[in-house]
Amino acid sequence: MNLVKNLKYPIPRLSGFNLKNMKKLVMGLLMLTCLGCEDEQIAWETEDVPQMLVVEGQLTNQRQHHQITLSTSANYFSNVKTPRVTGANLRITSPGDTLAFVEEANQPGVYTSKRAVAGVPGKTYQLDIRLEKPINGRTRYQASQTMPQGFWLDTIQATTYKNPVYVEQAPIDSLVLYLSVLGEEPTPAGDYYTMNLFRNNRPLNDTIDQTNIYSDREAFKGYPPYNFYFFESFRAGDTLELEICSASHAYRRYLNGLQNIVNQSGNPFDLSGPPANAIGNIENGEALGFFRVTYISTARTIVVKE
């Protein structure tokens, strides 16, 4: 069947232009494109934004000296370590108590509580920061969170299994860690939890991109024991410690924002631009970071082989 004759509007023919010439034109355009891109330097145009305060710290239910770090923001493409903020006055207040902080002599910008304290579930804690020198015209910042009643961790059992999908030179380990957890979730249930693993007293996921966060519905649904799988290189005889930390919805949003920044694609043609800042909980001005109040529960065991 002649399809051209059956079209209401016939396809126009280009004089002296056939399929062979079309192929030559396409190849020529591709070569010009590649040559043009080979040595071209892309001039990134970025805006200079006002410097902002960055707050990192948490208060937990564990009796200890708690720390909070203050620094300032830097440009997105800067390779220089962000400067610390010194000379600030920090305190955490709760009903009937005030906890003062003092700056470490050998660690500028790191502030430690003057006494060891343990946060109490159900209490609201407010961080108050007063700077010696203003940042972007402001000297006072605040943040507030209520400590939830977190998951109560009783005992754990850890077993290693051969990874059924392992192949040589794969980015995952040849063993799978199977973790069985016994414990009790509070009533009402918490929002979210982060889980940290320690192998022989060394943390395995102590960076933002390695932190896993779970909702109570997906991690602790049904009845104990609760079972988890981790692709980590544990061996029989290793000491394993599990740390379960409560997390608010606001902290989950903040953590997801940080992970989106860290895991940005390295594709140079992904022109989505620098990522937006993660949304923290620092108030009274433009600031970055998060003041976290969390309930932590831990348990230890010896890893066994299947």
Q: Which residues contact 63 (CB under 8 A, 6 or more apart)?
A: 116, 117, 118
Neighbour-count burial for 137-175, b at 16+ CB within 10 Å, e otherwise: eebebbbbbebbbbbebeebbbbbeebeeeeeeeeeeeb
- Asked if 140 and 179 sit in the same domain, the reply is no
CA distance 146 to 160: 38
- Asked if 202 and 219 sit in the same domain, the reply is yes
The more confident residue out of 258 and 8 is 258
- Asked if 118 and 230 sit in the same domain, the reply is no
pLDDT exceeds 70 at position 32: no
CA distance 101 to 91: 6
Confidence of residue 102 (pLDDT cuts 50, 70, 90): very high
- Asked if 132 and 171 sit in the same domain, the reply is no
- Asked if 212 and 156 sit in the same domain, the reply is yes
CA distance 222 to 153: 16
**C-beta of residue 87 within 8 angstroms of C-beta of residue 101:** no
- Asked if 301 and 193 sit in the same domain, the reply is yes
pLDDT of residue 98: 97
In tens, the pLDDT along 193-233 reads 999 999 999 998 878 878 888 888 777 877 888 888 887 77
pLDDT exceeds 60 at position 273: no
Let me know if residue 12 belongs to a domain.
no
- Asked if 123 and 257 sit in the same domain, the reply is yes
3-17, 235-249, 268-282: the lowest-pLDDT one: 3-17
- Asked if 166 and 218 sit in the same domain, the reply is yes
Spatial CA neighbour of 191 closest among 209, 212, 214: 214
DSSP letters for 172-227: S-SEEEEEEEEEE--SS--SEEEEEEEETTEES--SGGG-EEEEHHHHS-SSSPEE
- Asked if 136 and 172 sit in the same domain, the reply is no
Let me know if residue 35 belongs to a domain.
no
Let me know if residue 10 belongs to a domain.
no
- Asked if 200 and 114 sit in the same domain, the reply is no
Let me know if residue 134 belongs to a domain.
yes
% pLDDT > 90, the chain: 46
Let me know if residue 42 belongs to a domain.
no
Structural tokens at position 29: 């355009």
Domain that holds residue 209: 152-247+296-305
In tens, the pLDDT along 105-143 reads 999 999 999 999 999 999 999 999 999 999 988 999 999
pLDDT of residue 82: 80
- Asked if 207 and 83 sit in the same domain, the reply is no
Number of structural domains found in the chain: 2
Structural tokens at position 169: 């030179």
- Asked if 132 and 160 sit in the same domain, the reply is no
pLDDT exceeds 60 at position 259: yes
CATH of the domain at 212: 2.60.40
Let me know if residue 20 belongs to a domain.
no
CA distance 306 to 177: 10
Let me know if residue 86 belongs to a domain.
yes
